[in-house]
């Protein structure tokens, strides 16, 4: 493949973004047509790139090792394909969902810009372009959230600051890495995390998991679920950020740093992963809004991926990556289904919904398959990847993490039973208006995603063989081969049995809660909500006590009022009285000096001449 072609996946979406910004809004179907066709082109490009040989492309830029370098290899091909697939589906979906939005022109422009930047971040083989694209994604995310409702701006700022913090950590980490290794080319770096490099590992890890939305950098996602357009949620926190964040995390743990199994770094990752799974799923369980519930799951599932990658055993890593792609598929499917419901009923509050499966059969079908997949029901893809992660974490010997993951599985299933039950089954809520199925551009993407869930589950050798095993192939001891498909769907081993047991437990929990809640599906989680200790914790969580961002803001406010009184005022006094008055005095003198008299000006000129001639004479001596 011609190396120069490597910039095409970046340039084409960029051009499309420009076109979208410039297209006149008068012609009705033009913009949608262009968007869908453009997205199709992006997918086509990604397909042609798939399966190519490893290719490098270097464009000299700043010199000193800071060049515009791209690299196409198995992993980035795969991510690129996944990215463009999601962009296509979301664009298709948006043609109906976003049609009435007042700023739809900007919407498509930013979507394509996001696609361009994400492709750039995937292909980058030099840290500086990587940072460039990475930061660009932050800006498009900010812009896209801003397109939402009236509180959107606050959430957008929140996401921007949290993302900015994580990216800052990453840049710091990269800087340390650069100073230690002397190169910025990503494919050249492979070091042992010792001393300063360990610090840089942690910093870069924060950047990666922060992008993926793990605890404690997740808090903007539930807020954005309410404020941002749902298609944005499906695309960015649902799919893109997971893909990119986990992609970078895998690069860090596999390529840049050589990690030993059960080294402190791996343990840290596993702790973060397990904590994210459990805490987020507890939060998800009690949510009474479908979109918010989904967004907490988006966080919780990241925990599985991080846990899987943190195990550092091949099956765990593959499981983590597989879970990343699976999660992106069913999570965007779920978000899109939620959007579909919202599009018809105007709400996503569980209380106001019910019995929609008759009216919206396709949406219901898609939602159920995706929900089953996320809960890990045999034989869907979620089951396969979760099993691999369970196996991986079990192999490390720290069973506690496996147990945490199982706990997460129980509650995930319970919460989706609740959500599915409340939205699609049970009696129709009299308050909701008469609804019918949406147009095909809305449910087709959902069904496609659901179909992929099934295919990747039953025929799991397809993704495993074509997408995932090549990634690890370079990292195995010689002679060993990978073959996971044999036991991927095996039900009859202890771990799978336990998982299945967990699902039964989840079902039991649901039935118990349903009975207790007076046969109201949206109340099924109340028994857990009102458990003695948990209740307090939940109340705190609702009050955002655990939200580092909100707490940070509060702390900053306190700090700033302190600084205002004891530091700022004195400085301000200095500034007001001295700097400004000196500046004003200088300005005043100069203004008075330019008095408009020609003779005065000429005198300056001649005086200057005399002075210069004298100075040159004196300096020559």
Q: Rule CB under 8 A: is residue 24 a binding residue for other proteins?
A: no
* Residue 498: other Cβ atoms inside 10 A: 16
Determine if 25 is a binding residue for other proteins (CB under 8 A): no
Smallest distance, other proteins to C-beta of residue 616, A: 4
| Residue 494 touches other proteins, criterion: CB under 8 A | no
The least distance separating other proteins from the CB of residue 55, rounded to whole angstroms, comes to 23
- Stated as kind and residue range, the H or E segment containing 141 is helix 127-146
Closest to 307 in 3D by CA, of 275, 261, 259, 263: 275
Q: Is 571 in the site for other proteins (CB under 8 A)?
A: no
Contact segment (CB under 8 A) with other proteins among 103-111, 232-240, 295-303, 581-589 equals 581-589
Residue 70 Cβ vs other proteins, minimum distance, rounded to whole Å: 16
Residue 195 contacts other proteins per CB under 8 A = no
Beta bridge partners of 70: 57, 124
Show Cβ contacts of residue 523 under 8 Å, excluding neighbours closer than 6 positions: 513, 516, 517
Q: Scan for tokens 């990475």, then name that residue.
A: 134
* Residue 137, H or E segment: helix 127-146
Find the shortest distance in angstroms from Cβ 169 to other proteins: 20
User: Which tokens is 239 given?
Assistant: 């799919």
Q: Tell me the C-alpha distance between 57 and 122, whole Å.
A: 14
Determine the interface stretch with other proteins among 28-36, 155-163, 514-522, 594-602 (rule: CB under 8 A): 594-602
- Determine if 595 is a binding residue for other proteins (CB under 8 A): yes
Of the two residues 100 and 617, which places its CB atom closer to other proteins in the complex? 617
For 220-276, the three-class secondary structure string (H helix, E strand, C coil) is HHHHHHHHCCHHHHHHHHHHHHHHHHHHHHHHHHHHHECCCCCCHHHHHHHHHHHHH
Segment interacting with other proteins, rule: CB under 8 A, options 12-20, 117-125, 567-575, 599-607: 599-607
Q: Which is nearer to other proteins, 439 or 594 (CB)?
A: 594
Q: Closer to other proteins at the Cβ: 556 or 580?
A: 580
Residue in 149, 182, 346, 608 binding other proteins, rule: CB under 8 A:
608
Question: Could you tell me the smallest distance in angstroms from the CB atom of residue 127 to other proteins?
Answer: 16
Is 591 a binding residue for other proteins by CB under 8 A? The answer is yes
Give every CB contact of residue 148 below 8 A, 6+ residues apart in sequence.
Answer: 155, 224, 227, 228, 229, 232
**Is 192 or 615 the residue whose CB approaches other proteins more closely?**
615
The verdict on 436 binding other proteins (CB under 8 A) reads: no
- Which H helix or E strand runs over 35? helix 30-49
Q: Give 394's contacts (C-beta < 8 A, 6+ positions apart).
A: 402, 495
* Shortest distance (Å) from residue 136 CB to other proteins: 12
Which residues between 44 and 73 bind other proteins (CB under 8 A)?
Answer: 60-63
Q: Is 533 in the site for other proteins (CB under 8 A)?
A: no
By C-beta, is 555 or 601 nearer to other proteins?
A: 601
346's tokens: 């105007």
Q: Does residue 483 belong to the site contacting other proteins (CB under 8 A)?
A: no
CA distances from 584 to 21, 181, 264, 569 (A): 44, 50, 59, 20
Binding track over 269-288 against other proteins, x by CB under 8 A: --------------------
Q: Is 22 in the site for other proteins (CB under 8 A)?
A: no
- When binding is defined by CB under 8 A, the residue of 48, 399, 561, 605 that contacts other proteins is 605
Residue 588 binding other proteins, by CB under 8 A:
yes
Q: Residue 555 or 604: which CB sits closer to other proteins?
A: 604
Binding part of the chain for other proteins, among 41-49, 228-236, 307-315, 579-587 by CB under 8 A, reads 579-587
Smaller CB separation from other proteins, 433 or 617 = 617
Q: Which is nearer to other proteins, 261 or 606 (CB)?
A: 606
Q: Which residue from 22, 478, 533, 599 is in contact with other proteins, where contact means CB under 8 A?
A: 599
User: Parallel, antiparallel, or unpaired for β 66-72 and 55-63?
Assistant: antiparallel
Place of tokens 């049970």: 426
Q: Residue 533 or residue 590: which is nearer to other proteins going by CB?
A: 590
C-beta of residue 275 within 8 angstroms of C-beta of residue 210? no
Comparing C-alpha atoms, which of 236, 313, 237, 239 is closest to residue 269? 313
Determine the size of the site formed for other proteins (CB under 8 A).
34
Neighbours of 263 (CB within 10 A): 15
Q: Which is nearer to other proteins, 554 or 594 (CB)?
A: 594
Which region, left, alpha or beta, applies to residue 426 given φ > 0 means left and ψ of -120 to 50 means alpha? Answer: left
DSSP structure class, residue 67: E
Angle between helices 381-395 and 314-345 (to 10 degrees): 140
Options 29, 492, 566, 597; binder of other proteins; rule CB under 8 A:
597
Q: Is residue 578 at the binding interface for other proteins, with CB under 8 A as the rule?
A: no
CB of 208 to other proteins, least distance (A): 24
Q: Which residues are CB-neighbours of 548 under 8 A, at least 6 positions away?
A: 216, 217, 219
Segment lying near other proteins (by CB under 8 A), choices 350-358, 525-533, 561-569, 588-596: 588-596
CB of residue 333 to other proteins, shortest distance in Å: 38
Minimum CB–partner distance for residue 509 and other proteins (Å) = 54
**Nearer to other proteins among residue 15 and residue 41 (C-beta):** 15
Kindly state the smallest distance separating residue 611's Cβ from other proteins, in Å. Answer: 8
Q: According to the 3-state scheme, what is the secondary structure of 338-361?
A: HHHHHHHHCCCEHHHCCCCCCCCH
User: Is residue 555 close enough to count as binding other proteins by CB under 8 A?
Assistant: no
Per CB under 8 A, does 346 bind other proteins? Answer: no
Nearer to other proteins, 481 or 595 (CB): 595
CB contact set of 360 (below 8 Å; sequence gap of 6+): 340, 341, 344, 424, 435, 436, 437, 438, 443
Q: Pull the structure tokens for residue 82.
A: 């996944």
Which window, 96-104, 109-117, 237-245, 593-601, contacts other proteins (CB under 8 A)? 593-601
Closer to other proteins by CB, 30 or 586: give it.
586
Which tokens sit at 570? 């004195």
Q: How distant, in Å, are the alpha carbons of 119, 121, 240, 496 from that of 81? A: 10, 14, 12, 31
**Between 556 and 571, CB nearer to other proteins:** 571
* Contacting positions for other proteins (CB under 8 A): 60-63, 583-584, 586-588, 590-591, 594-609, 612-613, 615-617, 619-620
């Amino acid at each position: 493949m011609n190396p120069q072609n490597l910039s095409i996946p970046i340039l084409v979406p960029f051009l499309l973004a420009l076109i979208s910004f410039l297209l006149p809004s008068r012609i009705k179907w033009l913009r949608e047509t262009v968007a869908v066709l453009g997205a199709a082109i992006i997918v086509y490009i990604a397909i042609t790139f798939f399966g190519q040989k490893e290719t490098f492309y270097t464009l000299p830029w700043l010199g000193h090792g800071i060049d515009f370098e791209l690299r196409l290899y198995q992993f980035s091909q795969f991510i690129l394909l996944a990215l463009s697939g999601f962009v296509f589906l979301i664009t298709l979906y948006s043609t109906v969902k976003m049609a009435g939005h007042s700023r739809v022109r900007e919407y498509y422009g930013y979507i394509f810009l996001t696609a361009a930047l994400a492709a750039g971040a995937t292909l980058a083989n030099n840290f500086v372009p990587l940072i460039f694209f990475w930061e660009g994604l932050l800006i498009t995310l900010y812009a896209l959230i801003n397109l939402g409702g009236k509180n959107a701006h606050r959430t957008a700022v929140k996401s921007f600051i949290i993302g900015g913090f994580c990216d800052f950590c990453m840049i710091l980490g990269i800087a340390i890495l650069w100073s230690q290794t002397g190169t910025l080319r990503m494919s050249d770096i492979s070091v042992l995390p010792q001393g300063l490099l360990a610090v840089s590992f942690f910093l870069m890890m924060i950047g990666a998991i922060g992008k993926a939305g793990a605890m404690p950098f997740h808090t903007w996602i539930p807020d954005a679920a309410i404020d941002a357009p749902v298609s944005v949620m499906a695309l960015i926190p649902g799919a893109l950020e997971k893909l990119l964040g986990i992609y970078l995390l895998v690069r860090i743990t596999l390529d840049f740093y050589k990690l030993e199994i059960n080294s402190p770094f791996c343990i840290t990752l596993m702790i973060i992963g397990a904590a994210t799974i459990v805490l987020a799923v507890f939060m998800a369980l009690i949510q009474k809004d479908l979109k918010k519930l989904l967004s907490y799951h988006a966080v919780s599932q990241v925990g599985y991926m991080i846990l899987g990658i943190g195990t550092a055993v091949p099956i765990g890593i593959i499981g983590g990556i597989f879970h990343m792609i699976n999660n992106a598929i069913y999570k965007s499917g779920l978000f899109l289904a939620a959007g579909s419901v919202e599009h018809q009923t105007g709400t996503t509050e569980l209380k106001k919904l019910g019995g929609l499966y008759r009216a919206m059969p396709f949406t219901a079908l898609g939602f159920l398959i995706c929900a089953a997949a996320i809960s890990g029901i045999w034989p869907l893809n979620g089951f396969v990847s979760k099993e691999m992660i369970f196996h991986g974490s079990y192999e490390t010997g720290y069973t506690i993490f496996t147990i945490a993951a199982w706990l997460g599985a129980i509650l995930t299933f319970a919460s989706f039973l609740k959500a599915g039950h409340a939205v699609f089954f049970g009696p129709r809520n009299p308050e909701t208006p008469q609804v019918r199925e949406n147009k095909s551009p809305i449910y087709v993407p959902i069904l496609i995603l659901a179909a992929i869930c099934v295919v990747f589950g039953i025929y799991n050798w397809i993704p495993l063989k074509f997408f995932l095993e090549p990634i690890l192939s370079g990292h195995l001891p010689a002679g060993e081969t990978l073959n996971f498909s044999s036991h991927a769907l095996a039900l009859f081993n202890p771990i799978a049995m336990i998982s299945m047991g967990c699902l039964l437990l989840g079902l039991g929990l649901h039935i118990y809660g349903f009975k207790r809640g007076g046969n109201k599906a949206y109340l099924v989680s109340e028994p857990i909500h009102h458990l003695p200790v948990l209740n307090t914790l939940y109340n705190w969580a609702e009050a955002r006590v655990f939200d580092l961002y909100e707490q940070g803001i509060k702390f900053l406010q306190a700090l700033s009022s302190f600084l205002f009184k004891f530091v700022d005022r004195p400085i301000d006094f200095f500034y007001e009285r001295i700097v400004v008055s000196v500046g004003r005095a200088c300005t005043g003198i100069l203004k008075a000096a330019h008095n408009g008299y020609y003779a005065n000006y000429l005198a300056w000129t001649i005086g200057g001449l005399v002075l210069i001639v004298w100075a040159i004479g004196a300096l020559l001596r």
